[in-house]
Chains A and B, each alone.
Chain A
């Protein structure tokens, strides 16, 4: 029913629908740069096709941006002025609050809608669960630490850092020359690096493999965050302990919490200097929910390998077959085999604004904005389509563009009030292009749960409400 409707709408997308002009709204907009004569022309032209109109109308108005008929979203009220301007508010007439009113400042009370949230029904317990970052409300590339997505397997802890230890040992006596223990005081004396990286759960967008399941960008893509991490390259600690790098090609990372999470990491990533034992995030110590006081940072690799509350590193000559490498985080393929040790997060992107559940309040100019990332390196290009993937325009990449880090993209767009299907498609520096979900499913089927990096589609309906859809 609904789907059929949408298909009809799409079929008529190329023919101008005169009902969309909403002529009555034009009179509300006295500051509109179109003169009444122009408006009449617009209405006439609307009935006869619009290409010529756009060129003429805007040449006449001298507009810099090709805006179609629009009403002012902020019209002048009856009294000849905005009461928010005419009546000075209390904050212009009184004494504000003191310094250090709050020793650790909080966001404005008006931002209280911006929260990380669980997806109802996804998990049955609150300690083995997920909360999703509100990507639709974030700017730039850094996730505020308090909004970082959470995945806990057995609840989170706030661990006394003076009692936390990191052990480095080997799977046998020869593979690590001197098994060692480090206190936090010691680790924090060592040379550190600070780097921006994304972290994405391998199951991000997993609910959408087969069909649309959730309403907003927060739930489709919110197991994704990006921070500046500061810590000691793991290579330095392994060098300190004396590792046989010829035999020791696999590293086990283990947490100190109840679940004592374990994951195998390839030695190649540690040798590259990328893997760090991090204690800080966005200028302060890690948040407890993110592994305070110590977590592993494995750039480009799915979040489950970024072991929190890191207590032990073991160097071995074989992968470890941990629970989350054997029973979970394995990808079921057509034919019944599971892919094991899938770790890299492939190139992916999503438009965060406009996105599912939002409403475009008027026609006219919008900034399409989103995030792109790749576990294989830097983002090279992001293309955006507003017609469901028929035609694409290349978006602007905002700086910085960093390896294995979120990259923000923006693109000018003028909404003409008709249904639009908004997509983004990222390419990374290896030349890999983010696939459509039909391309992904053709190879992997739709039951894999993990590693869904397909192109996301948002349908902007005529009402302005944006809806999560998938196109064939």
Chain B
């Protein structure tokens, strides 16, 4: 018995091993998953394979001048990015902060100046392909992928001209992108010497740059608070009491009030938050809540009459709403047959809401 079972298991094991081999070997995968997925056509690849790499692989043939770029810029880019790339305080500025000296060194010196406001795109970008690729795939913001390749060349040329990196008469094209790359002010400003690339092709193999130890006792001699949320910012994200669950180990502080000074004050402040009042219920919600629709259809009888049957029966009655509201609360039998409608425990206001809705034809 035992031997037999063991033999059976071994056989099963062998079968599983076989399946595993099939699933993990690339050649077998092709046959195992045959019919799932098909070859992409050259036309399909051309439609979607739009990326341009730093070595300019993927860059389409084309050209555009600074002058053409200015026209496109003012029509399609300036509304967000500003006439001069300063970006109207809406988006991050694109232009500014680079110098003729940076163009020589390939390092933007102002990146070391903490007082310089903001870091513009031209201060950071190290590869020209990135500007071309991104403008082509994602700009204009509300109409991405609408520019032709020539228009993209022109816009890139104009952007570089705004940054005083290329002359006014430049015509940027697939043939001179590599030359213009050599002018980018921050082209030498990046490093991959770090431990945060989870692969072997770049970086230092994952070695962390910061080494802390898990000290457990008397780890620091003096604890000094060097930064804390200023009182004026306490309510800057809205009333925090409305951003925390109203029940639990902690409640949240009502930041529309002055900071509490004692636990008792804090408790009053935090406890004073009333539950969120539900808005007036819709008739449809009430018919669900009180399970009216378990017995009444909109048009037709289920156990009791359809709501619209009720509406048409009493259509001539002047006090139809008051009558129906009363019937809803009292229940009854005999009017529509022998089934009994139990008295309903809903409020007068809710009964009137329902009565008004039924009398009006039980619409959506």
Q: Is B191 touching A338 in the complex (CB atoms < 8 A)?
A: yes
Q: Is A167 touching B48 in the complex (CB atoms < 8 A)?
A: yes
Residue A462 at the chain B interface, CB threshold 8 Å:
yes
Q: Is A181 touching B144 in the complex (CB atoms < 8 A)?
A: no
CB distance from B329 to the nearest CB of A (A): 14
| Given A2-B231, A97-B289, A471-B226, CB of A357 within 8 Å of CB of B267 | no
Q: Is A110 touching B243 in the complex (CB atoms < 8 A)?
A: no
Closest 4 pairs (CB-CB, A-B) = A266-B199, A388-B223, A358-B250, A357-B240
Q: Is A266 touching B124 in the complex (CB atoms < 8 A)?
A: no
Which residues in B have their C-beta under 8 angstroms from that of A214?
A: 229, 237
> CA A167 – CA B47 in complex, angstroms?
11
Q: Is A321 touching B53 in the complex (CB atoms < 8 A)?
A: yes
| Given A110-B275, A383-B214, CB of A361 within 8 Å of CB of B200 | no
Residue B40 at the chain A interface, CB threshold 8 Å:
yes
> CA A358 – CA B57 in complex, angstroms?
54
**Among B107, B196, B227, B253, contact of A451 (Cβ-Cβ < 8 Å):** B196
What does the 1/0 interface line of A1-34 toward B look like (CB < 8 Å)?
Answer: 0110011001000000000001001000000000
Q: Is B192 touching A356 in the complex (CB atoms < 8 A)?
A: no
Q: Which positions in B face A, CB cutoff 8 Å?
A: 23, 26, 29-30, 33, 36-40, 44-45, 48-51, 53-55, 57-58, 89-91, 107-109, 111-112, 114, 119, 121, 124-127, 129-130, 133-134, 137-138, 141, 144-145, 186, 189-203, 206, 208-220, 223-231, 233-234, 236-238, 240, 242-253, 255, 259-267, 269-271, 275-276, 278, 288-291, 293-294, 345
Interface size class of chain A, counting residues whose CB lies under 8 Å from the partner chain: 35 or more
CB-based nearest A residue for B293: A98
**Among B36, B53, B253, contact of A240 (Cβ-Cβ < 8 Å):** B36
Q: Is A360 touching B250 in the complex (CB atoms < 8 A)?
A: yes
CB distance from B53 to the nearest CB of A (A): 6
> CA A139 – CA B252 in complex, angstroms?
17
CB-based nearest A residue for B270: A359
CB distance from A451 to the nearest CB of B (A): 7
Residue A469 at the chain B interface, CB threshold 8 Å:
yes
| Given A327-B121, A465-B260, CB of A95 within 8 Å of CB of B291 | yes
> CA A366 – CA B107 in complex, angstroms?
53
Interface segment, A38-46, A54-62, A251-259, A286-294? A251-259
Q: Is B138 touching A258 in the complex (CB atoms < 8 A)?
A: yes
Interface segment, A80-88, A112-120, A141-149, A395-403? A112-120
**Among A97, A169, A262, A353, contact of B288 (Cβ-Cβ < 8 Å):** A97
> CA A269 – CA B263 in complex, angstroms?
51
Q: Is A169 touching B214 in the complex (CB atoms < 8 A)?
A: no
Q: Is A459 touching B111 in the complex (CB atoms < 8 A)?
A: no
Which residues in A have their C-beta under 8 angstroms from that of B220?
A: 388-390
Residue A342 at the chain B interface, CB threshold 8 Å:
yes
> CA A426 – CA B273 in complex, angstroms?
35
Residue A335 at the chain B interface, CB threshold 8 Å:
yes
> CA A134 – CA B294 in complex, angstroms?
38
> CA A340 – CA B127 in complex, angstroms?
12
Which residues in B have their C-beta under 8 angstroms from that of A97?
A: 288-289, 291
Q: Is B189 touching A326 in the complex (CB atoms < 8 A)?
A: no
Q: Is B228 touching A212 in the complex (CB atoms < 8 A)?
A: yes
> CA A134 – CA B345 in complex, angstroms?
38
> CA A335 – CA B191 in complex, angstroms?
12
Q: Is A434 touching B233 in the complex (CB atoms < 8 A)?
A: no
> CA A174 – CA B256 in complex, angstroms?
64
> CA A47 – CA B254 in complex, angstroms?
33
**Among B121, B126, B263, contact of A417 (Cβ-Cβ < 8 Å):** B263
Q: Is A339 touching B190 in the complex (CB atoms < 8 A)?
A: yes
Q: Is A191 touching B23 in the complex (CB atoms < 8 A)?
A: yes
| Given A326-B127, A359-B270, A467-B229, CB of A120 within 8 Å of CB of B53 | no
Residue A346 at the chain B interface, CB threshold 8 Å:
yes
| Given A190-B36, A240-B36, CB of A463 within 8 Å of CB of B129 | no
> CA A183 – CA B222 in complex, angstroms?
61
- The listed residue with most B CB atoms (<10 A of its CB), out of A249, A260, A332, is A260
Q: Is A354 touching B227 in the complex (CB atoms < 8 A)?
A: no
CB distance from A127 to the nearest CB of B (A): 8
CB distance from B59 to the nearest CB of A (A): 13
Sample 22 A-B pairs with CB under 8 A, ordered by A number: A115-B243, A153-B138, A214-B229, A215-B236, A258-B145, A260-B137, A321-B127, A322-B134, A337-B191, A342-B197, A344-B206, A357-B255, A359-B266, A367-B249, A388-B220, A391-B219, A392-B215, A435-B210, A466-B250, A468-B228, A469-B229, A470-B226
- The listed residue with most B CB atoms (<10 A of its CB), out of A94, A216, A417, is A216
Which residues in A have their C-beta under 8 angstroms from that of B108?
A: 336
Which residues in B have their C-beta under 8 angstroms from that of A467?
A: 228-229
Q: Is B53 touching A119 in the complex (CB atoms < 8 A)?
A: no
- The listed residue with most A CB atoms (<10 A of its CB), out of B40, B109, B114, B202, is B40
CB distance from B46 to the nearest CB of A (A): 10
Q: Is B189 touching A94 in the complex (CB atoms < 8 A)?
A: no
Residue A48 at the chain B interface, CB threshold 8 Å:
no
Which residues in A have their C-beta under 8 angstroms from that of B250?
A: 353-354, 358-361, 466
Q: Is A343 touching B197 in the complex (CB atoms < 8 A)?
A: yes
Other than the known A269-B199, A447-B114, what 16 A-B pairs have Cβ atoms closer than 8 Å? A113-B276, A154-B144, A179-B40, A179-B45, A181-B39, A216-B240, A236-B33, A242-B26, A262-B137, A311-B48, A321-B127, A353-B248, A383-B214, A388-B223, A442-B210, A469-B227
**Among A241, A254, A300, A440, contact of B198 (Cβ-Cβ < 8 Å):** A300
CB distance from B247 to the nearest CB of A (A): 7
**Among B234, B270, B345, contact of A361 (Cβ-Cβ < 8 Å):** B270
> CA A98 – CA B237 in complex, angstroms?
39
CB distance from B323 to the nearest CB of A (A): 24
**Among A94, A186, A268, contact of B36 (Cβ-Cβ < 8 Å):** A186
Q: Is B40 touching A169 in the complex (CB atoms < 8 A)?
A: yes
**Among B30, B45, B259, contact of A463 (Cβ-Cβ < 8 Å):** B259
| Given A136-B244, A167-B44, CB of A3 within 8 Å of CB of B228 | yes
Q: Is A267 touching B291 in the complex (CB atoms < 8 A)?
A: no
Q: Is B130 touching A358 in the complex (CB atoms < 8 A)?
A: no
> CA A85 – CA B5 in complex, angstroms?
61
Which residues in B have their C-beta under 8 angstroms from that of A266?
A: 197-201
> CA A362 – CA B263 in complex, angstroms?
7
Which residues in A have their C-beta under 8 angstroms from that of B141?
A: 128, 154, 258
